Amino acid sequence: MSATQEDYIKVLFELGGKSRNVSNKSVAERLELSPPTVTEMMNILVTAGYVEYVKYKGASLTDSGTRYAKHIIRKHRLWEVFLVEKLGISIDAVHREAELLEHVTGDDVADKLEVFLDYPKFCPHGGAIDFDEMDRQETELKTLSEVEVGRTVKISRIIDEEKLLMFFKTQKCDIGDILVVEDVDEQIDLITTYNKTKDQRLQLSLSISKYLFVETA
Amino acid sequence: MSATQEDYIKVLFELGGKSRNVSNKSVAERLELSPPTVTEMMNILVTAGYVEYVKYKGASLTDSGTRYAKHIIRKHRLWEVFLVEKLGISIDAVHREAELLEHVTGDDVADKLEVFLDYPKFCPHGGAIDFDEMDRQETELKTLSEVEVGRTVKISRIIDEEKLLMFFKTQKCDIGDILVVEDVDEQIDLITTYNKTKDQRLQLSLSISKYLFVETA
DNA sequence: AACATACTTTAGGTTTGCCAAAATTAATAT
DNA sequence: ATATTAATTTTGGCAAACCTAAAGTATGTT
Ligand SMILES: [Mn+2]
Ligand SMILES: [Mn+2]
Ligand SMILES: [Mn+2]
Ligand SMILES: [Mn+2]
């Protein structure tokens, strides 16, 4: 599989392709490609046995595809841990680097890297490295936007997209922080929370809060 | 520049393209490509400003091309040090991995990696990491095949090609070993040396000895 | 039931990096 | 000077990933 194809598989996984049917449009948006390009690639990935595709309905991952995606994601996250913890590169810069490293890392290197890093459980953005824990995160985590007013939650994971990471860097807000959801205003697209850990108010748009994964604290 | 193009530039450098004109055939052999493919790429690299090309005579690197090659080679060697020293991967396996990693390593990552590794001077095969030391090696090192009978030399560098590394692994023979050249027989393609460091006789074909770089001990 | 709209697919085309076969050139030997 | 040989270049073609424009489909609205 080419690096290109691995990125498609990964996006399918990240968009829930293990269970749902993922639309070509969403894949195209994520990878910044045109929809026809995605259609074409889906057919290739079907032939390769990683994807099931229903015309006009979208793609889902086969077991083989899901396993493959997890392997790449594991490598991605191991590199992120290395880059942050050993090289001291900032948390918002590592994603771009890992996005390339993940495709040129043999299984043996990944395994030895994991040992060297002393079996980290999560990447710097809170993503699980262990396969089972990946599954658990997918079922048990919800986005901050889905939390009812009044609930107290813990920030478990930030989707690592460049812009978001910059936002969370400027706002003082980290993985593990405890938030109380004080108000959700769909009209003005705003969610108001109180960050207990940092002892300060945190307001953010609902659209951004969709990329913040939390679990009941 | 694509990874492909970076590999061409690197091969030109390794084949002496800083000073000599390198033939398309030798590049084609090294990269396991057809000669027409190389001709084609040379024209592209001329346009990009990295190569000067004289039809039917071969390619040489411009200053810009030389600098570029050194940057890639530095990254390659830094990764090799990391893979051997930190992950414990064997010396004959790291080359293949570094061959890919070198193309996806930002300058910042390379710099931080160098700090993390505490400024190593050489890769596991004896290749210099510092630009000036690369130049020194190129001018001062000669191949074992060029040494006169009776001379005592130190193994400074092994060209990292898969097959050779395997050979030097089975023979007990490492960077830094002191060799005395006892006999050179061009007829039967054999060079006989005595490895002072390991206190044992070492015989190898002249063709292989062309890939062993030494300096007067 | 007909329409509008949003998404998907098809069709045709580009670029990069590769190839084999044939033609050309340079260098060497006679 | 001519012939042979080896390397190089030209030519024509292919596959992977991308694109735009146009045609087709599904779905919800009136
Ligand atoms: Mn990637
Ligand atoms: Mn991450
Ligand atoms: Mn390479
Ligand atoms: Mn090396």
Where is the domain boundary, A134, A166, A184? A134
- What residues pair up with A54 in beta bridges, in sequence order? A58
CA-wise closest residue to B207 among B151, B171, B163, B170 = B163
Distance CA A68, CA A45 (A): 12
Q: Following DSSP, what letter does each residue of A47-79 receive, concatenated? A: HTTSEEEETTTEEEE-HHHHHHHHHHHHHHHHH
Q: Does the pLDDT at position A70 exceed 80?
A: yes
If interface means Cβ-Cβ distance under 8 Å, which residues of chain A face chain B?
Answer: 83, 86-89, 93, 97, 100-101, 103-106, 108-109, 112-113, 115-116
- Same structural domain, A130 and A149: no
**Whole-number Å distance, CA B10 to C1' D7?**
22
Q: Report the Cα A200 to chain-centroid distance in Å.
A: 26
Do residues B185 and B168 share a domain? yes
Residue A211 maps to which CATH number? 2.30.30.90
Domain of A77, CATH number, reads 1.10.10.10
Q: Same domain for B62 and B164?
A: no
Q: Are residues B171 and B103 in the same domain?
A: no
Q: Which long-range contacts (CB under 8 A, 24 or more apart) does B154-157 make?
A: B154/B178, B154/B179, B154/B214, B154/B215, B154/B216, B154/B217, B155/B126, B155/B179, B155/B212, B155/B213, B155/B214, B156/B126, B156/B213, B156/B214, B156/B215, B157/B122, B157/B125, B157/B126, B157/B127, B157/B212, B157/B213
Instruction: Please tell me the distance between residue A6's alpha carbon and the centre of ligand 1 in angstroms.
Output: 7
Per-residue pLDDT 10s for chain B (217 aa) are 999 999 999 999 999 988 889 999 999 999 999 999 999 999 999 999 999 999 999 999 999 999 999 999 999 999 999 999 999 999 999 999 999 999 999 999 999 999 999 999 999 999 999 999 999 999 999 999 889 999 999 999 999 887 788 888 888 888 999 999 999 988 888 999 999 999 999 999 888 888 899 998 7
Query: What is the whole-number distance in angstroms between the Cα of residue A22 and the centre of ligand 4?
Result: 44
CB contacts of B93 in chain A (<8 Å) are 108
- A3 CB neighbours in chain B (<8 A) are none
pLDDT at A65: 98
Residue indicated by tokens 């009812």: A148
For residue A164, pLDDT beyond 90: no
CB contact at 8 A, A126 and A175: yes
Residues A167, A208: Cα–Cα separation, whole Å:
9
What does the alpha-carbon distance between residue B100 and residue B83 come to, in Å, rounded to a whole number?
13
Q: Cβ distance B213 to B187 under 8 Å?
A: no
Shortest CA distance from B115: residue in chain A: A87
- Residue A217, pLDDT above cutoff 80: no
Q: Where are the beta strands (DSSP E) in B10-130?
A: 51-54, 58-61
Domain limits at A209? Answer: 142-216
Q: What gap in Å lies between CA B6 and CA B4, rounded to an integer? A: 5
Chain B's closest residue to A85, CA to CA, is: B116
Inter-axis angle of helices A3-14 and A35-47, to 10 degrees? Answer: 100
Asked whether residue B25 falls in the same domain as residue B88, the answer is yes
Nucleotide nearest to A36 (CA to C1'): C9
| Residues of chain A contacting B113 with CB distance shorter than 8 Å | 87
Q: How far apart, in whole angstroms, are the C-alpha atoms of residue B17 and residue B66?
A: 8
**Cα A92 to ligand 4 centroid, rounded to whole Å:** 31
* Per-position DSSP letters for A149-173, written without gaps between them: TT-EEEEEEE---HHHHHHHHHTT-
Out of B106, B134, B162, a domain closes at: B134
For the CA of B4 and the C1' of D23, the distance in angstroms is: 39
* pLDDT tens, position by position, B83-113: 999 999 999 999 999 999 999 999 999 999 9
* Distance separating alpha carbons of residues B206 and B186, to the nearest angstrom: 7
B97, B103, B104 ranked by CB distance to A109: nearest? B97
Same domain as B158, residue B122: no
pLDDT of residue A110: 98
Interatomic CA distance for residues A87 and A81, integer angstroms: 9
Distance (Å, rounded) from C-alpha A12 to C-alpha B83?
31
pTM for the whole structure: 0.93
Taking alpha carbons only, the member of A47, A60, A75, A56 closest to residue A20 is A60
Judge if B5 and B22 occupy the same domain: yes
Q: How far is the CA of A57 from the C1' of D24 (A)?
A: 14
Question: What is the B19 CA–ligand 3 centroid distance (Å)?
Answer: 22
Q: Tens of pLDDT along A71-127?
A: 999 999 999 999 999 999 999 999 999 999 999 999 999 999 999 999 999 999 999
Residues B116 and B151 in one domain: no
Distance CA B146, CA B175 (A): 18
Residue A207 pLDDT more than 90? no
Same-domain status, A146 and A48: no
Query: Which pLDDT score, from 0 to 100, does residue A209 have?
Result: 87
Tell me, yes or no, whether B128 and B150 share the same domain: no
- CB pair distance less than 8 Å for B104 and A101: yes
Name the residue among A29, A37, A46 with its Cα closest to residue A4: A37
- pLDDT class of A186 with cuts at 50, 70, 90: confident
Interchain proximity A89–B108, CB inside 8 Å: yes
Give chain B's domain count: 2
Quick one: B7 and B87 in the same domain?
A: yes
Domain termination residue (choose one: B101, B134, B167)? B134
Whether residues A107 and A31 share a domain: the answer is yes
SS3 B106: coil
The residue that minimises its CA distance to C1' of C18 is B37
